[in-house]
Amino acid sequence: MVGAPARYLVFFQYFGTRYSGVMETKSDQALVGVQNYLEKAAQNLRPSVPIKFHISSRTDSGVHALANAAHLDIQRAPGKAAFSGKQLVQGLNYHLKPEPICILSAQRVPSTFHARFCALSRTYIYRLLLGCAHYSQIPVFERDLCWAPAGGPLDISAMREAAKFLLGTHDFSTFRSLSSETPFRCPVRTLLQLEIQPAPGFLSHHNRGLEFWEVKFKSRSFLYRQVRRMVGALVAVGQGKLSPQDIQELLEVKDARAFPPHAMAPPSGLFLKSVEYSQADLAAPSAPAEEELCGLS
């Protein structure tokens, strides 16, 4: 008799520049998704049934992850024990070489745990580099890992004043890009945290005269390209192109077409930092249907 598959929660990171995003794409594209490589590696574990990664947080082409999450079910041949978390990490990482993708951890979870719907919050950081008069001044080891806005210093105080308007629960319609899913997704989100803080570069002692800043966002979920639009608008405030009150007015308009053209931040500076879960959800008996998972309906 074949037993039930084992479900795992895995955390993984990747350098996003080489991929079309995290989600699976057709394999004949020039750039494919991180998920393509994860599932190809998983098939080398010789499961009885093909393994599907159900990813917590979608990221676009060029966006990086310090720790994204996914769940997967593994059905092994009769008589073979379920993988331990350590075995799964080692096996997947072996078959992911030489891609810049790494499995950080894996653990068994209840059969109805869902990596997307059970997430309590997601945290993103956006890295800004100030002090570059030209792209050539961006340190080699920072290229594709930050955004160096043109135009000199930013007014950080004005940016922090503008950020206060974004905190809390709002209709973020103006701060989302339109997509095929737009008509079906509620634009109301609660931004739990928005901080703008100085940060070290990877080799800051070699990069005198340059300043690194991080913009940190935390919410249960985000709209399509919401973080990049918020960063772009805040940088426009820092450059004096928008006022802090303009951010409030953009929120109140509730229209994606009202967003200033060319103000969206590029993907290179964006990192998914973490996905948080309740320990109770990782161990508790599961709900009877997916739409009831972790209190969602």
> Residue 42 corresponds to which tokens in the numbers above?
């998983």
Q: Find out whether 247 and 239 touch, Cβ atoms under 8 Å.
A: no
Active site residue 144: no
φ/ψ of 71, rounded to 5, equals -115, 155
Is the peptide bond prior to 50 cis by the omega test (within 30 degrees of 0)? no
| The predicted structure's pLDDT at residue 207 | 61
Cα–Cα separations (whole angstroms), residue 61 to 8, 74, 146, 285: 26, 28, 14, 36
Give mean pLDDT, residues 242-255. Answer: 97
Q: What type of residue is 148? A: A
How does DSSP classify residue 156? H
* 10 and 103 Cβ atoms separated by less than 8 Å: yes
User: Identity (one letter) of the amino acid at 63?
Assistant: V
- The CA-based diameter of the chain, rounded to the nearest angstrom, is 68
How far, in Å, CA of 258 to CA of 264, rounded?
13
Q: What is the per-residue pLDDT across 92-138, written as a single tens digit (0 to 9) for each?
A: 999 999 999 999 999 999 998 999 999 999 999 999 999 887 888 88
Q: 28, 60, 144, 281: which one is catalytic?
A: 60
251: amino acid identity, one letter: L
Measured distance CA(272)–CA(126) in Å, rounded:
9
Confidence of residue 2 (pLDDT cuts 50, 70, 90): low
Q: Find the mean pLDDT for residues 152-163.
A: 96
* pLDDT for the residue 10: 98
Q: What is the pTM of this model?
A: 0.90
Both tokens of 75, joined, read: 């059905």
Residue 267 CA: distances (Å) to CA of 32, 65, 68, 117 = 16, 12, 16, 25
